[in-house]
Structure 1
C-alpha cells in the first residue's frame, strides 16, 4: 500500500497500479486498494477505467468514515451536480433534437446527456474533480465545447429527408441515395470534418407531426442559429466557378426563413452546390468577416456591414426590419410571419392553417409591444385581419414619405409668427392635450391610435380609373382640398363618415429631426461612408423599438430630451410648427359602432400641413379605434 502511494507520488503510475492490484488481491474488501488503483489509473490518463474504478470505490466505501474516502465521495457528488447544471443550461439554448455526427442518428436532449456520460470527456471531468475539487468554470467550458452544434441553412428543394425518414433509417448514412439525401449526408460529413459532434437541419430535426414540438422549434429557431458554433450555408444554385454576384442572386437570398439564418449566426460559411467553400475563401473561417462577401451582402440588403457581422434585433428599428423582410418569399403563407418571430422578439404562437391571419397577428404584436406605428405607413391593399395593416410585407420595400429638413432660419421665422399671432394659452392647451394621449395599442384585432383628426365636409369623383381605382377630391376641415386614389367606393352622399388623420403624433422622439442648420448641412456633406450607416440603426430601451432610418415615418418632437431644458410654451410652439409641415395622412371611414376602417389608398396621401394661422383649439386630437 505504502509503496503504491510512493510510486504514485513519483509519477510511476504503472508500478503504482501493479501494487494497487496486489493490495486488492490480498484484501478485496479493503477500499484503500481500490483508492490506490483509481489514483494510478487517473495518473496514467486512462480516464474510462479510472471513472469505473471511482464508481466501484464509492460503492465499496459507503460506510467508511475515512477522511480521504469522504472527500472523494463529496467531490464526486458535487461534480455530477455541477455537470448536470451546466448541461441543463446549454440544453436551454440548443435545439430539441440534433444529429449525432458520430453515429448519424437523431438524438434528443436526454439522449445527448446519456451519450456524454458514456464518453471519455465526461469521465475525465468527474475524475479530475474527485481528486482536485470542483472547478465550475472549467466544467462549463468542457460541457459547452462538447455540446456545441453546427446548423444547416439552405433552401428546400422538394421531398427532403424528414424526422420520420431518418428515424426509420436509423442513420443519415443509411438513407436512400437521392440528391436531397446526399445534401444532408454531405452537410453531416462537412461538419464532422470540422470536428463537430452535433448538427441540426430543419429537414429532419423537427418532428412536424407534433404541433407542440413544431411550435417550440419555430419560436426558438432564431436563438438556435444565434447560439450555434457555426452555420453552414448550402447554395444549391451556385456553381464552383461563380463570382460574388452568384450569392446575391441565389435563391437562398430570396427566402423568408434565410433572413434570420443570415442575421442571427455569429459564424457563417458559404458552400457552393459541390460543397466547396464559396469563392474558395478559406482565409476567413467566418465568411461574415470576409471583406468581399460582407460588402456584397451589405450593398445588396441596404444594411450596414456592422449589422451583417453582429446583428442584434434591438439595434434595428421596426420599419427597417420590415424592409428587410419585404423582399423575401415563403412557400407556406404563415411562414411569412413565423420566420420573423425571432427578429422581432415576438411572442405570437405559431399555428398553421391561419393563412394571412398569421401576418396580422405578427404586426399586431409588434405595435402592441413597441407602440411603433410605422407599421401602418403603406399603400395598397388592406389585410382582412385589420384594415390598418397591409395585405403583404412587400409594401414595406417602398420608402414612405418624409418631409425634407426644415431650414433653421425658416423654423425661427415660423416660431416668431406663432408667438405674435397666437394667444399664449392656446398653444399650451393644445400641447397638453397632445401629450396626454396614450401610445398606440393593438389587441383583439383593434388598433387604438392617438392622432389628429380632420373631418371631410364634401367629396367627389375627380377621375374614374377602372381597376386602378378612382381619383377623388375631398374638402377637409383645416386642410382644404385633398386628392387621393382608392379602389374602395367612397360614400359620396355621406362625406361626414370620412376623416383624414395625422397618425404620427407620438411616434418618434427626436426634437431636432427635421430642423437643419447651415452648420449641420455642411457637416452632413462631409460625412464618410461609415458615418452614413450609423444613422440607419436605432438603439431601443426595454421592449420598445424605434426606427430612425431614412424610410421612417416623420419624426415627432413630443418626447424630446433637448440639451437645454425647454419651457412648455416653446415646446408647444415647436409642436405646432411641426404639424404645419407636410405629412402622410391616412383616410378612415366611420363604422356603425363608432369604430373606423382604413380606406386603402393606391398612393400616399401627402398633406401640405396644418396652416400656421390655425387656432390650435380647433385641432381635434383623440384616440380612434381602427378595425
Structure 2
C-alpha cells in the first residue's frame, strides 16, 4: 500500500494498511488528476489541477496530527495489473482502516446550510459524489466520514448528516452510522445491498461489479474486457459463498416488452438498477431451518 507523506508529498510503501494512522480521500475524478507516475515529478505535479485535492487532504491530515494520507489517483500504480487488482480487492479494508475518510464534494457550494453550517439534503442531493459506484463503499466502509465542500469547508460528519444521507442513498441508518461492521454488514440481504447501487454509475462497465466486492465481503480476479459478465460473476460468487437467495429477487419492469415478451435470459440480473425495488427485503436467519443448498456449475444453478 502506497501512502503520501503529508510533509513532503512523497509516496511511501507500507506492507499493510497501518490501522487508524492515516486519512483517506473519497472524491469523484475530474480533469488533471495527479497519477502515480505524475507525483514522482513533484514540481510538475504541483502545477496540475488535481494536486489541490492532495494538498487539501494532507493539510487536514497534518492539522489532526496524522503524517500520511491515501488518494486513489496517485497511490495506485495502474500500469501494474497485479497492483491494480490487489488494490481494488483491498479497497474496502483500506477505507475501513483509515482514521478518517475525507469526502470531497467538489460541486457543493460553500454557502448556506443549516444554523450549524451543516449541509442540507437539498444541497447534498445534486452532488455527483452520490451517483458514482466507487463512492458507495467509500461511504459505508469507514467508521468516520467528514464531508467537505469545494472550498474545503467542513459541512458535517456522517453521524451528523445521517438523516439526509439515508434519504439520498436509501442505505439503512445502522449501516451508515457505523453500527454495521464488516461481519454484520453481511447479514443484510444481498438484494438490499444491491439496491444501494441501483442509481450509481461507473466509467467502465466491469466496475459496476468490482466496486461492490467489498460490500459483499468478496474477492474476485479483475478481467477488464469481460463487460457485463463481471456483474454475473459477482452474483454467482454471492450465491456460492453465502447461499443468499435474495439475489434472485431482482425485477426488470421493461423486460416483459422485449422482443414481444418472448425474450429468454438467465436467473441473474443484468444491472444493479434491477434491484431498485429491493430496499426492504430481509433475509430470515432461523437456526432450526437449514440454509438452502445451492451450487453454481458450468451447467447453471442447482438447488
- For Structure 1 versus Structure 2, the TM-score category normalised by the shorter chain is 0.7 to 0.9
Give the one of 134, 138, 153 matched to 1:257. Answer: 134
The equivalent residue for 1:185 is: 55
The equivalent residue for 1:325 is: 197
- Deviation string, structure 1 residues 227-249 (Cα, Å, up to 9, x no partner): 11110010010000143122232
Query: Which one is further off, 202-211 or 346-355?
Result: 346-355
In the aligned structure 1, how far is the partner of 2:291 from the partner of 2:60? 57
The equivalent residue for 2:10 is: 105
- Deviation string, structure 1 residues 438-466 (Cα, Å, up to 9, x no partner): 62222447212x3xxxxxxxxxxxxxxxx
The equivalent residue for 1:394 is: 273
The equivalent residue for 2:74 is: 204
Q: Is the 8 A contact 2:110 2:151 kept in 1?
A: yes
Q: Is the 8 A contact 1:106 1:205 kept in 2?
A: yes
Give the one of 210, 232, 237 matched to 1:338. Answer: 210
Larger strand fraction of residues: 1
Q: 1:401 to 1:229 in 2, by over 3 A?
A: closer
* Corresponding pairs, count: 274
Q: Quote how far apart the aligned CAs of 1:378 are.
A: 2.7
In the aligned structure 2, how far is the partner of 1:342 from the partner of 1:253? 18
In the aligned structure 1, how far is the partner of 2:91 from the partner of 2:168? 24
Larger helix fraction of residues: 1
Give the one of 91, 95, 98 matched to 1:225. Answer: 95
Q: Quote how far apart the aligned CAs of 1:390 are.
A: 1.8
Q: 1:345 to 1:227 in 2, by over 3 A?
A: same
The equivalent residue for 2:225 is: 353
TM-score (norm 1): 0.41
- Deviation string, structure 1 residues 142-191 (Cα, Å, up to 9, x no partner): x867xx11100000113411000012x1x4x7524232222222222222
State the structure with more CA Rg: 1
Q: 1:101 to 1:436 in 2, by over 3 A?
A: closer
Map 1:302-451; keep pairs closer than 5 Å: 302-310=170-178, 311-312=180-181, 313-380=185-252, 381=255, 387-399=266-278, 439-444=293-298, 446-448=300-302, 450=303
The equivalent residue for 2:284 is: none
Q: 1:277 to 1:166 in 2, by over 3 A?
A: same
In the aligned structure 2, how far is the partner of 1:259 from the partner of 1:108? 26
Q: 1:445 to 1:238 in 2, by over 3 A?
A: farther
- Deviation string, structure 1 residues 595-616 (Cα, Å, up to 9, x no partner): xxxxxxxxxxxxxxxxxxxxxx
The equivalent residue for 2:285 is: none
Q: Is the 8 A contact 2:32 2:49 kept in 1?
A: no
Structure 2: give runs of 5+ residues left out of the alignment: 114-119, 257-264, 282-288
Q: Quote how far apart the aligned CAs of 1:379 are.
A: 3.4
Q: 1:359 to 1:242 in 2, by over 3 A?
A: farther
In the aligned structure 2, how far is the partner of 1:206 from the partner of 1:437? 40
Q: 1:442 to 1:276 in 2, by over 3 A?
A: same
What is the root-mean-square deviation of aligned Cα atoms in Å? Answer: 2.6
Q: Secondary structure at the match of 1:239?
A: coil
In the aligned structure 1, how far is the partner of 2:290 from the partner of 2:173? 40
In the aligned structure 1, how far is the partner of 2:206 from the partner of 2:93? 20
- Deviation string, structure 1 residues 372-406 (Cα, Å, up to 9, x no partner): 22212233359xxx71112211010024999xxxx
Q: Is the 8 A contact 2:23 2:101 kept in 1?
A: yes
- Deviation string, structure 1 residues 206-230 (Cα, Å, up to 9, x no partner): 0001111000000000010001111
Q: Is the 8 A contact 1:225 1:265 kept in 2?
A: yes
